[in-house]
Each structure stands twice: as C-alpha cells, then as structure tokens.
Amino acid sequence: MNRAFGPRPAGRGPTLAQTVDVDPAEQTTVLARRSAVVQLSLAEGRRVLLHPVVLGAVALLAAPWLIEAVTAPAATSYRVLTQESQWIQIPMLLLAAATYLAANLAGLRPFRSGTVGTEGTASMPRWHRSAAQVMGLLGVAAVSSILTVGRLAQLAAQQGAAGRVMPAELLTVPALVLFCGVLGLVVAQLGRTLMVSALILALLTIVVLLLVFAMSDLGWLSLVAYDDPFSPGPTPSELVGRPAGWHVFYLLSASGLLAVVLFWSGGLPRPAGVTGGVLCAALLITTAGAQLAPVSEELVAARQQARTAPAAQQICEIRGSITYCAFPEFDSRIDAWDQVARGALAAVPPSATPHALTIRQRLQVPSTGGRFGPPPLAEWSADDLAAGTPDTVPVSTRWATGGNRVSDQRAVLDLALVLADRLVTGQGLAPEVAPRCGAQGAIVLWVALAADPAVGAALDTVNQASSSSATVSASVLDSSAGYFIGERETTLGTALAARPEARDLVHAHWDQLTDPATSVDEAAELLGLPSPDPITADWAWCR
Amino acid sequence: MSQRWVPDLLDSVRRTTVLTPLLVSSTLGVTLLAALLTLGVRLAPMDVASTLRFSLAVTLVGATFLLDDPARTSTQALPVSPARVAAIRLAFGTAILTVSWIAQLLLAPQLSNSSLPFDPRPFVIEAYGIVVWLWVGAAWRAPHDRKGSGASFAAPALLLLFVALMLLPDSVALFVDGDSPDLVASRWRWAVVLLTGVISLALLLAPSRRRRRS
C-alpha cells in the first residue's frame, strides 16, 4: 500500500490527486476500495475455480480427451475443425453448469451462513463484493478457453485435419461460462436458496434442450445455437455463415445486463445502474436481432454452387494418372484418397486400368422429404466437362479411419465402392441404387476391400451399426445414388478378400468374373471357393 | 401396540419434508418429454434413450433436497428415531419419483422414429440406481453442513454423476442403448449399484439411531 499511495519522487510530475483536483484522502479511499475489490475477486475466483464441482467438470472434460489422445489417436484424425469449433460448445455446457452451481453457492454464502443480516456493517458496499464475484468468474472462463483451444489444437495436429478453426465459435465457450456464472450469482441474490437455484438450472436445461432439438433460429437466443449448416455434412468454412460473432456479443451483453441487476440489488448508484442497464439492454436487443438476420443471398448462391458446380472453388493435384480435386481447406485428405485409389487400381489388371481418372470432392446431398435426395448428376457432369475432368469419381467431405464415427467411415467405404464399380463395370454413378449381382458384385466388393485395409475396417464399423451385415449397401454422399451387393455376393467377395492369392486368381479370370452374365456359383468355381448358401428368403434383390 | 399414531406420524413427517422441489422437478421432467412430443420431434432409439436420461436428470434435481430438514430442531423431538423419519421421507420421495418416472417411460416410446418399438422397461432401474446414491451423498453431507442440508453436495454431484456415467468405458457401461447386446449385463450392473446404494444409505442413517439411544 505504501508503495502505491506514498509520495512520489520529485521530478515525476503531479500526483493523481493534483491532476484531477480531488481531495487526496477521498482519492486514496477510492483506490483502496478498487484494490480491495481486485483482491477479493482473486480470492472469489480461486474459490470458484477450486470448487469440487468445477474441478470435477474440468476433469470429466479433459480426461476422455487425454485418454483418447494416448490410447486411440486414430479416433481423432480426419476431423473438420470448422465443425469441431461449433460442436465443442456442447460438452463445455458441463463446465458452464458447474460454474453456475459454484458461483451460486458462493452467492448463497451469506444466506447459508446467516451473516446476511450483518452485511451492512461491512466497510465495502455489497455491490463491490458482487463485482468482485463477477470478476472472479474470469478465471474459470479463462480455463474454459484453455480447454477449448487445447482440444482444437489436439485435433488440428492429427492426420487429415481439415477446415478452419472459427475464433468466434471458440469465444462462445468462455462467454457462456461467464453468462452462467453471473446467472448463478443473480439467482443466489434473488432466490436466496439452493432449491430455487437448482430448479432454475433444471429449467434452463430444458429450454436449451428444446431449442437444440427444435433446430430453429430461436436457438440463437439460447446459450448454444444448433442451427447446423453442416447438415448433411461438412462444408468449407466460407460457406458456413453462422452469426457466431454476434452470439458472443449477445452472451456478453446478457451477462452485462445480469451483472447490472446484481449490482443494483447490492446498492449500485442509480445513475450508473440506469446507464449500464440501458447500454446492456440496447446491446442485447441489437445482437439478438443481428443473430436472427437471414443468410445473405450471396452465401445461399455460393452454397448452391458448391453443391452443384464446385470445380471453380477447388484446387486440383495431379499424382500420376489420378487427379484429385478438393476444396482448399480439405487438401490434407488427398493422401488418404490416394492410398485407396492406388490400392483399387493395383487390384485390377493393367488392361482394366483407365488412362486418367479424376476424384473430385463433393458436398453431401441434402435429403428431400425425409428421404435420400437425388444427386445433381447433370450439373456435376456439366461442371466436370467445363473443368476438363469428365466422369469424375465423387468423394465426400467426410472421412475417418478409426474410432466409431460411422457416417465418416462410411465415406471411406463409399469411395472404394464407387471406384471399384467404375473399374469393374465401367459405369458411372446412376441416380438410383444400382444392384450389383452375380460374379460382378463379388468382384466389386473384393476390389474395394483390396484397395486399403481402412476399407475393411470401415465395413466392420458400418456393419456393427447396421441391422444387416450380410449385404453391403452404400448411399453415395447420402443421396439416392449408390450400390447394393447381395448376400451371396458379399459372402464370396469377403471370402476372396481373405485369400492371399486372390489377386492372381482374379486377374486370370478377369473377363469371365466381370461379365454380368456370370453367376456367383460359376465365380466360386473359377476361384476355387465354396459356393455360398442359396437365398431362402421370398424376395431378394440378388438371388 | 396401537397403530393410531401412524397417520399422525406420517402427516407430521410429510409436513417437515422438502417435497416441493421434487414435485416441481418431476413435473419439469415430464414436461420436457411432452414438449418434445408436442413439437413433433421424433428421434432415433439411441437418442430417445439419451433424452429419457436427460429428463431423469431434471427430475432428480428435486430429489437431492429430500433429506434436508428445515425443521431439524422440531423433528429431533419426535418420539421416533431420525432413521425412521428419514425412511418415511425416502418413501414419500420414492412414491413421487415413481409416478413421474412411469409417466416419462410411457411418453418416451412416442418419441421414437423407428419402426421397431422402443421398450422402456430396461430403463426402469436407472432412476432408482441413481437416486439412491444421491441420497447417500446427501445423507453423508448433511451432518457436516452448517444448516444440515445435504443438497449442497448432492445437487452438484448429480451433474457430475450423470456425465461420469455417460463416459464409462464399454466394459462397465451403465448407460447403454436399448438394442445393445450389452443391455442385460448392464442391468445386472445397475442391480449392483442399486443394492450397494441401499446398503450404504441404511448404514449412513443407522448410526444416528444408535447415538440417539445412547
């Protein structure tokens, strides 16, 4: 204190009190109070941060991430950081709820300990103590930021990470932690019992959950908005268009308004309270409105172009006879696609290998009326011709080679099957599901499985989540287009994949095996494998 | 022995039991599922199970206050042991929880978008397995709390307990999907959780009776 308020050395200019012409004694009191508020905020911040419920929440958030990083790093590969920036807000709601409870218990301390009646005798006004409690929440908000950034850094460092970290989405996390903390303090001040606080938390959970499920724009008026531009799949970050920045200001202005209510109940001078309240309310209304503004027409057009004619937005990389075209943020996936594509080409005889092949990344096809939508094949074809890359093979913005992300691993299987079908049948993608029966179906599956071990692993994961693992079906890019490989064909194809000499056998009988007229039984005989059991069901796509 | 004092005792304990939060949270839990149904939300069976557990978490918020005794000084003077008073309170709470939980279990299948029916019966035990441990926590904390409230521990614990249960590894998972092959094994694990919880609660409440007699 002496160092801060003692006489200044000569020649250093006027003192603060002389400059603003205020009574030095009064100035000293103001500065001392500010210092006391800062000291109290440090103490309150430490108490909230070290509260068991906050520590428990941090542990429950961080432990699975650490365990995953050590024991199953493949599960965190091929993540789209644009999506992850948004999705991380959902688990961080746990820390926000924990902060609410810890702050609430701190706010209830005078009521629970029975000292509320003696507060008037304290030298520090109550709203100063409330201000210290609000400032103390910055510590836990900082911890939430560290957790968020740490998790995103972990995902960004993994193989095949794509997309871009969205700073505004990350800033939402500390903003919502701060909001929940201030709400906990206000509820403590007004409700005065833990019972009220807990029931308000339950009510808040319901509101957030309903708005998340409703998936309406009103979600932006809640804590986290689940308005999902990633449905039905990841998109380049410039096409996302979420008003995340406005949402951060919305949460901060809501926190500010709650803080003013808290300070007001603690004796904040009327002019400051009115000014702060009006300012925060104006900000809240402005940011709420800005969040609910419709998406610009330019963005809608850009999204549509990316779905139907993405060539102009993509970069291409030529590797031998294969050209890979991807949205720039997804070029880290080319290595993985190349591994599958080279494996598929190596599985077929050189005579069946095309001179040139282009694999082009495409966005998932939105569903129509709850059913798989038709792929825009005509638009894709025109775009490919204009780009000088006809008959491209589509590949999704999704990808995964480990973990349990079924829809992402399905993309691996889809690429392998589309490629295998192109190489075996020579046909392009049809608007409806194409059944591949007979020897041809078994060979399509074998080429796909021989392409890369990741394809077999993906098939296992998909089968585990599926009601039927006896057949293989693929819906390319979640559209109505795809392939169906029958039960007997699947049995023969997987049995063939288990044999080390399969490649030589298939190459020796390639023409017969890829002939649509060759049956499964004939193929089994050619390959020296037992014929699969006959189908007993009344109806089957492939018999 | 005459049983005429029983209604008086039940009425006396009921009036000193914190039932309002449980009544409110039980209503909120049912409201959540009813609101989702009204909004036309239809979910995959896996998501129906998660939503049912969310509504259970909301319901159990009120249960954490059941053993709080705002009239502790009065109830200590009752001619029955504190353990018996606590048992009566737990019976009241279990009854309210059961009514709400049955309503939620009946509403949940309506949320399913699957052609296969959602069977809520395997989920019945989960509510009791969790609530008994919340009451264990509350009963453990109450003697150490300045106001004799165990909810200051149990309410935050509820939040962490639910998330911890979600994160359990597959080999010891308690929250599993209705169509999981691990469903039966997980129900046995729930039975162990419930049984150990009941024993722990009985042990926690019993010493106060011994102290009273001495």
Q: Does A209 touch chain B (CB under 8 A)?
A: yes
pLDDT at A16 over 60: no
Can you give the pLDDT at residue B94?
A: 97
Nearest to A202 among B25, B51, B167 (CB): B25
Can you give the pLDDT at residue A538?
A: 66
Confidence of residue A437 (pLDDT cuts 50, 70, 90): very high
* Average pLDDT of the segment spanning B147-170: 90
Can you give the pLDDT at residue A17?
A: 42
Name chain B contacts of A199, Cβ cutoff 8 Å.
21, 24-25, 28, 61-62
Q: Does B20 touch chain A (CB under 8 A)?
A: yes
Name chain B contacts of A101, Cβ cutoff 8 Å.
155-156, 159
Can you give the pLDDT at residue B81?
A: 82
The CA distance from A179 to A79, in Å, is: 29
Nearest to A206 among B28, B147, B152 (CB): B28
Confidence of residue A27 (pLDDT cuts 50, 70, 90): low
pLDDT at A112 over 60: yes
Q: Does B1 touch chain A (CB under 8 A)?
A: no
Residue A98 and residue B160: Cβ atoms within 8 Å? yes
Nearest to B146 among A101, A112, A198 (CB): A112
The residues near A451 (Cβ < 8 Å, ≥ 6 apart) are: A340, A341, A343, A344, A347, A416, A419, A420
State pTM to two decimals: 0.88
pLDDT digits (tens, 9 = 90+) for A342-385: 999 999 999 989 989 999 999 999 887 777 889 999 999 999 99
pLDDT digits (tens, 9 = 90+) for A63-74: 999 998 888 888
Mean pLDDT of chain A: 89
Closest-CA residue of chain B to A97: B159
Can you give the pLDDT at residue A23?
A: 66
pLDDT digits (tens, 9 = 90+) for A412-422: 999 999 999 99
* Average pLDDT of the segment spanning B44-49: 88
pLDDT at B167 over 60: yes
pLDDT at A218 over 60: yes
The DSSP line for A325-383 is EE-GGGGGGHHHHHHHHHHHHHHS-GGGS-S-EEEEE-PPPPPBTTBPBPP-HHHHHHH
Can you give the pLDDT at residue B73?
A: 66
Q: Does A224 touch chain B (CB under 8 A)?
A: no
pLDDT digits (tens, 9 = 90+) for A279-295: 999 999 999 999 999 99
Confidence of residue A114 (pLDDT cuts 50, 70, 90): confident
Can you give the pLDDT at residue B209?
A: 45
Q: Tell me what percent of the residues of chain A surpass a pLDDT of 70.
A: 93
User: Tokens 């949205």 map to which residue?
Assistant: A327
Can you give the pLDDT at residue A31?
A: 72
User: Does the ipTM surpass 0.95?
Assistant: no
Can you give the pLDDT at residue A405?
A: 83
The residues near A473 (Cβ < 8 Å, ≥ 6 apart) are: A433, A482, A483, A484, A485
Q: How many CB atoms lie within 10 A of CB A467?
A: 7
Closest-CA residue of chain B to A57: B160
Confidence of residue A1 (pLDDT cuts 50, 70, 90): very low
A94: closest CA of chain B, how far (Å): 8
Can you give the pLDDT at residue A71?
A: 87
